[in-house]
């Protein structure tokens, strides 16, 4: 299997709030430490990438964020303008066509067009070359929207390839789709928490990726793993008797122990299910400190490097 660091497009997705942005930035730090030129892309207007990188907010133009790491905010308007200008070979013609309010209203109603403009721009940067030749970036990371929207976004190039008549739009979508499906060049990084609902949703997401979209999974990242305090035997015995005399001395401590045992049991069951998927995997600890601090990101980056 092609190592993660050799791929040029990584799509980071997962349920809302599981740590996609944190993982994207930790991954960027890890790849940059290997000497890769990384571009982080986000289509979230309220992006947290810049907070984690300690830089001003991302902009629709590519900007350097740190050594080896650049960033860009993908907005539908800017992405469509750039794409339209490239396709029409002129910003002036683009302006004449696209700045017309009826044309804009028309495009706003075309399903998937804005999604493709943003994903297509991110993909374009993964094949972009310097005017003097040679690739501009080694790898593009896409901090994708949460599962449902992330999948919808990935479906767009597939649909374009299937239904749009031959032309410029389909040609680019075909190139992107071929690259996204190639495990040597691309991969989806699926982020999850070791909890019941996120695990169910992750298994559904992985199923859609393999059966419907046929996209390679580059990593399953299990984020927020707690260090068990109890052995399996201790956990079982704590959970076997849930009747607690609340007035008895020490009952508060026992209640806390039971709550922790329940949490560890849920994590244990989720990890068993996730590990059984036999995907290349990284497990990141739940940090006690603020995960948005650079030292915390650096710690998570070392865990990403230790993939099983």
Ligand X SMILES: Nc1ncnc2c1ncn2[C@@H]1O[C@H](COP(=O)(O)OP(=O)(O)OP(=O)(O)O)[C@@H](O)[C@H]1O
Q: Which does 39 bind (CB under 5 to 8 A by kind): Mg ion, ligand X, none?
A: none
Provide the Cα torsion 141, 145, 146, 152; round to 10°: -110
Sign of CA dihedral 232, 237, 238, 241: positive
What minimum distance in Å lies between the beta carbon of 232 and ligand X?
A: 24
Site membership for Mg ion, residue 13 (CB under 5 A) = no
Residues 6+ apart with CB under 8 A from 162: none
Residues of the shown chain interacting with ligand X in the complex, contacts defined by CB under 6 A: 16-22, 48, 146, 223-224, 284, 286-287, 291-292, 300
Q: Which does 78 bind (CB under 5 to 8 A by kind): ligand X, Mg ion, none?
A: none
Rounded distance between C-alpha atoms, residue 236 and residue 242, angstroms: 11
Q: Of 65 and 261, which has the nearer Cβ to Mg ion? A: 65
Q: Of 158 and 219, which has the nearer Cβ to ligand X? A: 219
Q: Do the Cβ atoms of 216 and 38 come closer than 8 Å?
A: no
Q: Which does 284 bind (CB under 5 to 8 A by kind): Mg ion, ligand X, none?
A: ligand X
Q: Do the Cβ atoms of 12 and 145 come closer than 8 Å?
A: no
What minimum distance in Å lies between the beta carbon of 16 and ligand X?
A: 4
What minimum distance in Å lies between the beta carbon of 209 and Mg ion?
A: 19
Rg (CA), the chain: 22
Sign of CA dihedral 39, 43, 44, 46: positive
Q: Which does 16 bind (CB under 5 to 8 A by kind): Mg ion, ligand X, none?
A: ligand X
Which phi-psi region, left, alpha or beta, contains residue 35 (left: φ > 0; alpha: ψ -120 to 50)?
Answer: left
Q: Which does 286 bind (CB under 5 to 8 A by kind): ligand X, Mg ion, none?
A: ligand X
Q: Exactly one of 14, 19, 21, 238 binds Mg ion (CB under 5 A); which one?
A: 21
Q: Of 44 and 174, which has the nearer Cβ to ligand X? A: 44
Rounded distance between C-alpha atoms, residue 171 and residue 267, angstroms: 45
What minimum distance in Å lies between the beta carbon of 194 and ligand X?
A: 11
Number of Cβ within 10 Å of residue 111's Cβ equals: 10
Residues forming the site for Mg ion (CB under 5 A): 20-21
């Amino acid at each position: 299997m092609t190592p993660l660091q050799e791929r040029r497009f990584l799509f980071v997705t997962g349920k809302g709030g599981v740590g996609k942005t944190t993982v994207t930035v930790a991954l960027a730090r890890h790849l940059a430490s290997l000497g890769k030129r990384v571009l982080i892309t986000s289509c979230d207007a309220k992006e947290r990438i810049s907070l984690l990188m300690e830089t001003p907010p991302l902009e629709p133009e590519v900007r350097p964020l740190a050594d080896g790491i650049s960033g860009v905010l993908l907005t539908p308007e800017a992405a469509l303008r750039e794409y339209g200008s490239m396709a029409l070979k002129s910003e002036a013609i683009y302006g004449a066509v696209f700045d017309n309010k009826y044309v804009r209203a028309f495009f706003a109603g075309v399903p998937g067009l804005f999604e493709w403009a943003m994903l297509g721009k991110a993909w374009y940067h993964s094949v972009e070359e310097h005017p003097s030749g040679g690739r501009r970036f080694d790898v593009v990371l896409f901090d994708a929207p949460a599962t449902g929207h992330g999948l919808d976004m990935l479906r767009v190039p597939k649909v374009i390839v299937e239904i749009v008549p031959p032309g410029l739009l389909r040609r680019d979508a075909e190139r992107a789709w071929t690259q996204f499906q190639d495990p040597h060049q691309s991969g989806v990084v699926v982020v999850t928490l070791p909890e019941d609902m996120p695990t169910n949703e992750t298994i559904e997401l992985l199923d859609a990726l393999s059966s419907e979209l046929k996209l390679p999974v580059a990593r399953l990242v299990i984020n927020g793993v707690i260090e068990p305090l109890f052995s399996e035997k201790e956990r079982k015995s704590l959970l076997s008797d849930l009747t607690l005399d609340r007035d008895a001395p020490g009952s508060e401590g026992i209640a806390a122990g039971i709550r922790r045992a329940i949490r560890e049991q849920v994590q244990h069951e989720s990890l068993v299910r996730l590990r059984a998927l036999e995907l290349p995997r990284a497990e990141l600890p739940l940090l006690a400190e603020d995960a948005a601090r650079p030292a915390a990101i650096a710690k998570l980056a070392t865990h990403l490097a230790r993939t099983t």
